[in-house]
Amino acid sequence: MMQKLYTYACFEWLQEPQFMGELGYESLRGSDSYSFRFDDEWLRKHGELFISADLRNFPGWLY
């Protein structure tokens, strides 16, 4: 079963923290798997902002 952690952006230029997406974790047969899914609204507002070179800005789960 995948465990999820909701992530929020709290940058100085934001007036208040904003929901950014979900970080997922799952362990299957002794192998750890991590994923991330950006929130659609976050991408509409801030899609030009790249948080990490590893996280491409598109909706859906990234593994």
Percent of the chain whose pLDDT exceeds 90 = 54
User: For the chain, what's the residue count?
Assistant: 63
Report the pLDDT averaged over residues 41-59: 80
Domain ranges of the chain: 3-9+18-62
Encode pLDDT of 1-30 as tens digits: 889 999 999 999 999 999 999 999 999 888
Instruction: Name, in order, each residue with C-beta under 8 angstroms of 40's C-beta and a sequence gap of 6 or more.
Output: 59
Contact of 48 with 60, CB cutoff 8 Å = no
Answering whether pTM is above 0.75, one says: no
